[in-house]
Structure 1
Amino acid sequence: MSMFEPLRGAFRLSAASIGLFFLSAWHAAYAQPLPSAAELQQLAPNASLSTLALALTAYACASHSDADKLLTVIDYSKASRDKRLWVFDLRARKLLFEEWVAHGKNSGADVPTTFSNAPNSYQSSIGLYETGQTYSGKHGRSLRLQGLEPGFNDNSMSRAIVMHAAAYADPKVVPGLGRLGRSQGCPAVRPAIAGKLIETLQRGSYVFAYYPQQNWLKTSRFLNAQSCPLVNQSIASK
Structure 2
Amino acid sequence: MKKAINLFVLIFLFLPITTFASKIHSNTYSNNNTPESIIDHVYQQANLKGVIDYQVFKEGYNAYYQAKGRKKQILTIIDYSKPSTEKRFFVIDLHQNKLIYRTYVSHGVNSGGRKATRFSNRVNSRQTSLGTFLTDTTYYGGNGYSLKLDGLTRGINDNARRRYIVVHGAKYATESFIKRHGYLGRSWGCPALPTGLSRQIIDTIKGGSVIYAHA
**TM-score where L is the length of structure 2:** 0.79
Report whether the alignment pairs 1:95 with 2:112.
Answer: no
Asked if 2 retains the 8 angstrom alpha-carbon contact of 1:41 and 1:49, the reply is no
| Stretches of 4+ aligned residues off by more than 3 angstroms | 28-35
2:124 equivalent to 1:157: no
In the TM superposition, what is the alpha-carbon distance from 1:108 to its structure 2 partner? 0.3
Q: 1:197 aligns with which of 194, 201, 206?
A: 201
- Cα offset for 1:140? 1.0
Counterpart of 1:189 in 2: which secondary structure?
Answer: strand
> Aligned to 2:67, which of 62, 68, 77?
62
User: Per-residue deviation at 1:63?
Assistant: 5.1
Cα drift, residue 61 of structure 1: 1.5
State the alpha-carbon separation in 1 of the partners of residues 65 and 26 from structure 2. Answer: 16
**Counterpart contact for 2:74–2:93, Cα < 8 Å:** yes
Instruction: Tell me if 1:168 matches 2:190.
Output: no
Could you say which residue in structure 1 is the equivalent of 2:57? Answer: 52
Cα distance in structure 1, aligned partners of 2:213 and 2:158: 13
In 2: Cα distance, 1:169 partner to 1:78 partner:
15
Q: Write out per-residue CA displacement over residues 71-107 of structure 1, whole angstroms, 9 at most, x where no aligned residue.
A: 0000000010100010000011111100100000000
Measured in 2, the distance between the counterparts of 1:32 and 1:183 equals 41
User: Within 2, Cα distance between the matches of 1:74 and 1:93?
Assistant: 18
> What code does the residue aligned with 2:75 have?
L
Give the C-alpha shift of residue 39 in structure 1.
2.0
Map of 2:75 onto structure 1:
71
Decide whether aligned partners of structure 1 residues 70 and 39 sit closer, same or farther in structure 2, where only a CA change above 3 A counts: same
CA distance in 2, matches of 1:122, 1:89: 30
Query: Is 1:108–2:115 an aligned residue pair?
Result: no
Deviation, structure 1 residue 202: 1.0
1:39 correspondence with 2:44:
yes
How far apart are the structure 2 equivalents of 1:128 and 1:157? Answer: 13
User: How far is 1:62 from its partner?
Assistant: 1.7
Cα distance between partner residues in 2 of 1:71 and 1:124:
19
- Residue identity (%): 38
AA in 1 matched with 2:164: A
CA separation in 2, counterparts of 1:131 and 1:165?
16
Change (3 A) 1:117 1:109: same
Q: Judging changes above 3 Å, is the alpha-carbon distance between structure 1 residues 172 and 130 closer, same or farther for their aligned structure 2 residues?
A: same
8 Å contact kept, 1:117–1:152 = yes
Q: Which has the higher strand share?
A: 2
Displacement of 1:175: 2.5
Matched pairs, number = 184
Which consecutive unaligned segments of at least 5 residues does structure 1 have?
Answer: 1-27, 212-238
Name structure 2 gaps, 5 residues minimum.
1-23, 30-37
